[in-house]
Amino acid sequence: MQIPFDNSYAKLPDGFFTRLDPTPVSAPQMLAWNDALAGNLGIAQPDAQVFSGNVVPEGAAPLAQLYAGHQFGQYNPQLGDGRAILLGEVIDSAGTRRDIQFKGSGPTPYSRMGDGRAWLGPVLREYVVSEAMHALGIPTTRALAAVTTGDPVLREQGPLPGAVLTRIASSHLRVGTFQVFAHRGQIDDLRTLTDYAIARHWPQADGPMGLLAAVCAAQAKLITAWMSVGFIHGVMNTDNCTISGETIDYGPCAFMDAYSEARVFSSIDRTARYAYGNQPRIAVWNMAQLATALIQLFDDKDQAVQDATKIVHAMPDMLQTAWLRRFGTKLGLNATPEDQPLIEDLLAMMQSQGADFTNTFAALATDQARDQFSDRQAFDTWRDTWQTRKPDTDLMARSNPLIIPRNHRIEAMIEAAVTGDMAPFERLNTALAQPFTKTDPNLHRPPTDQEIVPATFCGT
């Protein structure tokens, strides 16, 4: 099989990674294939032997990347790809460099006692949700392929079918990649990484502080995009925060049904650190950790601290501006700061009355949102004020998705796939590719009380 590799990360010093091949599996079978994405990458056809890791194609440079990271606020000095292998890089049809990475491809030196495998559920969750995010126009890693391995994976609930996901990303550089070298005092390696990140992602950036400013801006846009569709990442550790500004790692992620600032889905987020409403604050915290690493590159540390502090302290205003713009468009407005109370009043009313986030905003464009509220008189009062701003319904229709990957639908899709029924996966994936189009009504509705999925689990 021919893949047009053009690798760059593998040319960095050996201390950045460990070179190794994926661990073979017994009976690989293609489960899902993203034909359009494959064409964009210059990959002609699916091959279960290649995308399971059994056959390493010519030109690949397989490796597991090293990084560290703060996990739920606690620093772990060494993490790394514990169940992933970077197969190599290609240049897509737009001239952009893309990583090809396997997830669930076997143990690595960074596995920390883990088996390095993934079971089918998390693989299909990431496939569906990452492709849905792409269709929504939100920067994200993407899914190229899913392969079943024919080997069971042992988890707490017993043996489960194993699978491998092929993930595509602008790169897998993370805040934690910078942290590991800064924490170890490997300043030459930190400088090499910084130069590489600038050249690959932000060539307009002027040195380390220019890189910091560019990443802060990208993260501000990303997190407010999440907020605008009710997305909760669930595990915003610094090792899951990309330098490219892409969403990465869809373990305990979920989209809200009923709106709540405090909503948490991740089963391991016991302090609600990564609740929906906390995500902007955590993004700033993560950027402060990147700043702390980059400061190590400067001889004049005091001046570097001042410069980095100024950049990071500007981020809350950047987030607020981006949030106002995003939520303004959801109300059909070219919003100004004077519109912020209007937006906040609607969200407060939605929260107090348990209104569905996606369906409420979608219904505003057709003047049917009143049915989402139990106190309709309160909504009418808010609506009268909003209408004085003469909202643009076409703008609203372009800004408010009609369908999201709701948790209960994902769980039902996984349950069916475990039995060999891929029809729900195909149906859901097809509908989510057109998020602003009304398709299957059953996929658009919120869960019943019996269908609610209260928590999601890390994709292990």
Active-site positions read 239
DSSP state at residue 157: T
CA distance linking residue 126 with residue 143, whole number of Å:
7
Token pair recorded at residue 280: 């902007």
Phi, psi of 272 (to 5 degrees): 60, 30
CA distance 243 to 195: 13
Helices (H), 48-119: 48-51
Contacts of 64 (CB under 8 A, 6+ apart): 17, 18, 20, 80, 81, 82, 84, 85, 86, 108, 109, 110
Please tell me the distance from the alpha carbon of residue 106 to that of residue 153, in angstroms, as a whole number: 11
Residue in the structure block whose two tokens are 């899902």: 32
For residue 145, give the DSSP letter. Answer: E
Q: Quick check: 39 and 84 in contact, CB under 8 A?
A: no
DSSP-H helix ranges across 365-435: 376-387, 393-399, 407-418, 423-432
| Phi, psi dihedrals of residue 95, rounded to the nearest 5° | 85, 15
Cα–Cα distance for residue pair 56/407, rounded to 1 Å = 35
Contact 248, 242 (CB under 8 A): yes
